[in-house]
Chains A and B, each alone.
Chain A
Amino acid sequence: MKYAFYPGCVSRGAAPELYDATVEVCSRLGIELEYDSMSGASCTGAGILQEKNLKLGDTLNARTFALAEKTGLPLMTICSTCQGVMSQANDRLKSDPEYLAEINKSLADEGLEYKGTADPRHLLWVLIEDVGIEKVKSLVVKPMTGFKAAPFYGCYIVRPSSALGFEENPDRQDSLEQVIEAVGAEVVDFPGKTLCCGFPIVMINEKNAVKMVANHTTDAKDLGADAMVTPCPLCHLNLDGYQPQAASMAKRPIDLPILHLPQMLGLAMGINPKDMRLNGHMVSTKKMLTKVAVSP
């Protein structure tokens, strides 16, 4: 299994631990990652650039798709936001050949053309659809029995459902829960799991963003969660980074570690937490690690 790998900006910026964990976990899952041909791919625009200029955003993503097509490999992401923005762009590009042709004009300068065959998929979906949940289970060496994990999807990997292929792949809708169960942990179902973490407005209206963090983390905590697991590094940044503020807003301690999806997988596969930079979170993961019986 080999994939054209699109790590996104954040895993190479403020959340380097996601990158490291992904690399570790993929090697155990037998997933090969093609980096070099994709290294020139730009940011998806994260929905922000699309605000000003949708066509520009679609062109940048078409460029990424074209780069992936050139490798002949399926395209894999590790960020819910990248996933969603790409899926939406792809939806527009594929459904309107005229538009695609128009966009391709801007790619022609560097000799690229997007033919419309790319199908970007998040590691989370790859786990279910390509690797298979049984294989994941078989690689678990330290089952996380008794560990309670609250899933947190991130908006763009659940909405708009029409662009995310839920109809053809209904498993995508509860994929995170399936993975949590596959590693032997228990799912903490809480109302916020498909809601917004608040990250997009943290620079704009911090109070609201922090309140969202407070709501989600305290809800999960109250339901007994030991950690929250997310396939979205942006959600991680907000839920982890702003948790201290959230705690003072909620006037109570929260201390809920926010794991990246591959970090949780890695723990169950016996990867050393340090190799996945579990010590590089704002909210300490120490206590949680003792619970899964690995020394921090």
Chain B
Amino acid sequence: MIDHDVLVIGAGLAGMRAALAASESGVDVAVISKVHPVRSHSNAAQGGINAALTDRGDPWEDHAFDTIKGSDYLADQNAVEVMCSEAGREVIAMEHMGVIFSRDDEGRLGTRAFGGQRQARTFFVADFTGQALLHVLYEQVLKVGVRTYEEWFVLSLIVEEGQCRGAIVMEIRTGDIHVIRAKAVILATGGLGRVFEPSTNALICTGDGMALAYREGVSLMDMEMVQYHPTTLKSNGALMSEGARGEGAYLINSDGERFMERYAPNMMELASRDVVSRSEQTEILEGRGVDGCVFLDCRHLGEKVINEKLSQISDLARDFANVDMSKQPVPIRPGMHYQMGGIKTDVDGCTSMRGLYAAGETACVSVHGGNRLGANSLLDTLVFGRRSGEHAANFARGVVERALNDGLIDRENRGIQAMMDRAGEGELFGSIRLDMGRTMNERLAVFRDDEGMRDAVSKLTELRNRFDSVAVTDKGKTFNTNLLFTLELGFMLDCAEAIALSGLERKESRGAHFRTDMPERDDKNWLKHILVSRGADGPIIENTPVIITQWEPQERKY
């Protein structure tokens, strides 16, 4: 058995930031990740990270207001205040650790404009901000000597008497199963994009953390809030960063018209994402698209801007859409991108279970509410990663180690063996995943309605039955990815269920949750979060009010 004070599950930005903070508090910390830390999905973040630097004439309250308005007033305002007021120092701390932010002429940090915000307050590193942050955090984790378990996969949490005591894990390289005992556990496993097909998310974004918590009866919140990003490539769902629009790119329809004029005359292309995605989808549905797409037009930006600031997305356009961005507009469409909801936590990362914390995309503090602003997610991971690391370290100091049940490994082994032993001729996991992804992308996308969501729920039940007989074809122990994908599919089905149930529950339109059968926002009845958890007899759905501090809900116009 392996022992640590704090066990961080996930080595993305949230996880490594948490580990660093916990380690600085002087406890023994370990990070476990199913891929090498620098392969985590955080590196895909291209655009940047938001922070209002008050001493440079951008009060953090403005950032908070933009965030809350962006969330369609579903965000908890106390949490948004924490995030926005701590943002500046968080970004500067990253700079001190070594991040190479783009600079202005005076050698200070430079910013770019991002959607849904009235100020250019997005700090960036060319168009690989996430990668730059992630690699630097990994460097820092090496520097302080935090133990990292790379390519270890968490199978389940250890919960005894309502308190989280560690995790059961599999070493992917050998297939061996281990118990890691810990006084506090932080889930930082990132998003669940692969529940949808297509998605901008990496193949590893399978919602493991949300499902792990859900299975133990921990509450998930705002799960119906799924963000569709306005600019994704058709061929493979890859994301064209909002940074492009931040630099001044246009959205045009098949007539060459900048159609955002009609939907958001002030903010135009930089309105919040739910608004832009809906506008695009409307254009496409009304026949002003081409081949299911509208266009991102960067031609007027010139080669210099494209090469220096948007090099990565111009590579993507060239490689996957066969388009030279400086000469042609790129066909794009809305695509599933981000899960606003997740494991419900407070501002210190505490979940509804003692000893269990969550941070990053897998958590829902709720700072994003019904719609996340671009470049707020990286900020969320860092601020709440750090806070949960600090809190977990303190908590761990007060926990007395105790002996765990024997037989934990056996239990897990039996479960896996059962999957391996199923007759080889059953269905492959791939087709189930595809059916799930397509169902979700059809029924829980930009436009939703009651009938569609009901259909999704029943389809998911059917898929779960099929899953129960799925065959693991690779019977080996070493690096058995086939087994991993099957386990991940199990996690994803749980997440899909939580999303569909929460969506059915919310009987209004708010943020990313737009119901064609109920197109109005209804503050009187629905200014509240939906919680879902799994009880002994199936899912339990509850509500909790939104926390309002200084900003009363208003009509939302861009």
Chain A in direct contact with chain B (Cβ < 8 angstroms): no
* Chain A interfacial positions (CB closer than 8 Å to B): none
* Chain B interfacial positions (CB closer than 8 Å to A): none
